């Protein structure tokens, strides 16, 4: 049943209190036909855990909360396993499920909030892994044609924290399931110093799958607030990309700035830029920049989406004025 004027406060991790004109929880793909063949909506928004959204106003359309569950093994041999997971499956629980079965490929993505269906939209990544590296295909329902479509990895047009579902086909589909290929032979990705250093402190040089996942969780918890106790939506901005010419000019001025090579150019640390601009720990009203990680904006309670957005725009302006670098949003501003 479609609900009307539904509060979305408990459906976004920023705890912004806005209403959806229409709201529906989908648990089965067949329900989508029942909805879209009988009703017409101006706007449709599919949400999972609501961990990457900032609502600045009421949503004048239909919000679909995705709760399509299920994990199925499609193929398995001595080297690989192919798994299809429902879009409503909690992402971290899916990671823990894979680790329990000794299937590798997403262990560095432990504790990322959200759902399986949201993972390809953002092309989530952390500590040297990106979900695009293990996705075979994405199943989605097209609101306009009432058809289910399967997108291959190539057709998803993955790039850094982006996909076709976030850009060209934004809000055209609801993802219903994702198919992954995971490995049975584990080779730890220790490319990020924070993870390697944390393991070294434990005197672990050859971590097991679970040891690596546990360490990723510990590192994340030391830097990022739990949205259940301090409302936030994780990283607010993406790390900015500079081509070689712009990077050379930048690093010549700011030689202590952290960076890493990326696709014939370089990625800067957005958190470092924000901190250097003086925002870490700063608070204006009910909105603030987290004191342990400048990349996280938090709602201390009662902040509106517009207040959060305005605060983020002040950060962007400040960083640009100081460094000449434009920060791009990782979150979706609605």
* pLDDT tens digit sequence for 285-323: 999 999 999 999 999 999 999 999 999 999 999 999 999
Determine the topology of domain 231-333 in CATH. Answer: 3.90.78
Do the bridges between strand 296-299 and strand 147-152 make them parallel or antiparallel, or are there none, so unpaired? unpaired
What band does 265 get if pLDDT is binned at 50, 70 and 90? confident
HSE-up of residue 170 (Cα within 13 Å, Cβ side):
8
CA–CA separation, 286 vs 270, rounded Å?
A: 22
Do the bridges between strand 287-289 and strand 283-284 make them parallel or antiparallel, or are there none, so unpaired? antiparallel
Catalytic residue among 181, 235, 280, 316: 235
Phi, psi of 219 (to 5 degrees): -65, -45
Assigned architecture for domain 71-183: 2-Layer Sandwich (3.30)
Look at residue 141 and give its three-state secondary structure: strand
**For this structure, is 235 an active site residue?**
yes
pLDDT of residue 143: 84
Alpha carbon of residue 284 to chain centroid: 26
pLDDT of residue 71: 96
- pLDDT one-digit tens code per residue, 94-118: 999 999 999 999 999 999 988 999 9
> Is the sign of the CA dihedral 126, 132, 134, 139 positive or negative?
positive
- pLDDT one-digit tens code per residue, 207-248: 999 999 999 999 988 888 888 899 999 889 999 999 989 999
What CATH number should be reported for the domain whose range is 3-66? Answer: 3.30.43.10
Catalytic residue among 51, 161, 280, 316: 161
Tell me the residue ranges of DSSP E strands in 184-281.
231-235, 241-243, 259-262, 265-268
Contact 29, 10 (CB under 8 A): no
pTM of the complete model: 0.86
**For this structure, is 163 an active site residue?**
no
Phi, psi of 84 (to 5 degrees): -110, 125
Average pLDDT, the chain: 92
Alpha carbon of residue 132 to chain centroid: 12
Catalytic residue among 107, 130, 181, 330: 330
Domain boundaries, the chain: 3-66, 71-183, 193-223, 231-333
Residue 221, class by beta-carbon neighbours within 10 Å (0-12 exposed, 13-18 middle, 19+ buried)?
exposed
């Amino acid at each position: 049943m479609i609900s009307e004027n539904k509060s979305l406060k408990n459906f976004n991790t920023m705890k912004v209190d806005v209403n959806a004109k229409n709201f529906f929880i989908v648990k089965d793909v067949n329900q989508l036909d029942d909805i879209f063949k009988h009703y017409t909506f101006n706007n449709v928004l599919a949400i999972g855990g609501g961990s990457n959204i900032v609502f600045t106003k009421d949503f004048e359309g239909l919000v679909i909360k995705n709760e399509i569950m299920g994990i199925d093994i499609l193929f398995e041999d001595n080297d690989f396993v192919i798994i299809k997971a429902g879009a409503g499956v909690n992402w971290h629980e899916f990671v823990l499920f894979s680790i329990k079965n000794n299937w590798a490929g997403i262990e560095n993505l432990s504790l990322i909030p959200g759902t399986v269906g949201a993972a390809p939209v953002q092309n989530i990544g952390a500590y040297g892994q990106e979900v695009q590296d293990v996705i075979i295909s994405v199943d989605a329902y097209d609101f306009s044609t009432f058809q289910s479509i399967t997108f291959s990895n190539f057709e998803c047009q993955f790039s850094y924290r982006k996909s076709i579902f976030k850009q060209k086909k934004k809000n055209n589909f609801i993802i219903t399931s994702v198919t992954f290929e995971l490995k049975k032979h584990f080779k730890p990705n220790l490319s990020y110093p924070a993870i390697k250093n944390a393991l070294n402190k434990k005197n672990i040089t050859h971590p097991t799958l679970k040891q690596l996942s546990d360490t990723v969780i510990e590192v994340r918890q030391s830097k990022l607030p739990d949205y259940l106790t301090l409302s936030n939506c994780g990283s607010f901005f993406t790390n900015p990309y500079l081509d070689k010419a712009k990077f050379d000019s930048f690093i010549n001025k700011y030689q202590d700035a952290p960076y890493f090579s990326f696709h014939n150019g370089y990625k800067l640390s957005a958190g470092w830029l924000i901190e250097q601009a003086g925002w870490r720990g700063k608070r204006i009203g009910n909105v603030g920049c987290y004191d342990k990680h400048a990349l996280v904006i938090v709602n201390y309670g009662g902040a509106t989406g517009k207040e959060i957005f305005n605060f983020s725009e002040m950060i962007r302006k400040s960083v640009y004025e100081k460094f000449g670098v434009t920060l791009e949003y990782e979150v979706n501003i609605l």
